[in-house]
Structure 1
């Protein structure tokens, strides 16, 4: 059984710049009160402000979910970036990404742009998109189980791409510098906070949203998801503005609360020690 009494979900962004409307943070306590949005210190969240928020809560029994990939695939090709000298485990690779990125506010767009066409797909000029479609073991496992085909971290084009956000997230994980443990690279602690990777679509499916519909764009849809028996939350307080970032964060925070004590989610059979250190795992994939 885990010790967490607070639960947060962060909808993340890899966009260029210093403030990002694509970042939303929602938090809730044990019980059934609906998650609430946490206002940014300066009105709009920066990635650095999120980093500072995390550091300040290292001793809180808080489970924090981020919706980006914590590492690229390694098992499939025995390298993160074949042909380039890189570490073979995630933590040193986070440091590598951080050292190779000079973007503001923990951005990593330059890391991808400098490797366009060799490792990252930005468009037809880079060759066949199929040649870039490599996946982590948890993503392949999720797909094989009928969860749906995820986006590859090497795809840097289109609304569904997760590349820029994920590499920016790796910079944040490196900058945490051990202040908070990160599962499954670190064991689940008995006290304090823990960071896990989430996939908001898993929360949406648990809340009864069918495939192809995972976004909530209004109060009625959000309340229907929150009050679903699998989520068990009270309705939310009305928001000034509804967008995918806010509703994803709110629903996923409530989902984290509903399943944090499910031991099966902390010990997925397909998660080996090698995968745990090289690729990580998405919490909720079993």
Structure 2
């Protein structure tokens, strides 16, 4: 860290990082699903999912360079550039697998995690925060991440690292005093690659990219300080009931849909 003056700092860092695999991805068995054919009254294989005990941990070498300007007691504006050389990551692919069934067996789509062959993430983050004397404050940031990897399918090559959106942003505004705290936050991210879907087209194997559509979510929280040791809390998650969905390669080819219910949580918090 370098202090340019009382309010300005420059930070640089380099690190070699590693994160372990999800135990569920490593140890999950081969789960298969069957459906009854009404014409033959036999159960036929439809699809499945599997773990992979040979998954590597996430490994990367990363570099960051940031500029920070501080204002008042809790004000900050900063920009940080980053470069990550990713040696290994995990991607979820869907591949055709032959499974025996009562009708003699058939090929069906099986979803399983596999090792990616590495990639790169470059980008920057802009952030700012400020608190006014009368109790209102805000925090906001925007991140641009340009990622590439060795992943490919029938339509694309050099695909992004799974789960990395090119654009993401979040903002929070709040008010707090001795009696209560109220916060509203919004998070948003652009579309992101989520692996490949493989299937057989006659004697030919096809592969399409799975993409999660852009998604934004609005949440709110209220905390009332009843006493020095007890708070009442209320939280509303996904106020606008935003839905999440996934498509195959083309935006007009839907693949998966998750409804977006609004959740209301009420509780209490003790401090001892």
Is TM > 0.5 for Structure 1 vs Structure 2? no
**Structure showing the higher strand proportion among its residues:** 2
TM-score of the two chains, using structure 1 as the length reference: 0.22
Q: Select the structure that is richer in helix.
A: 1
Structure number with greater Rg is: 2
Under a length normalisation based on structure 2, what TM-score does the superposition of the two structures give?
0.23
The structure with higher relative contact order (CA 8 Å, sep 6+) is 1
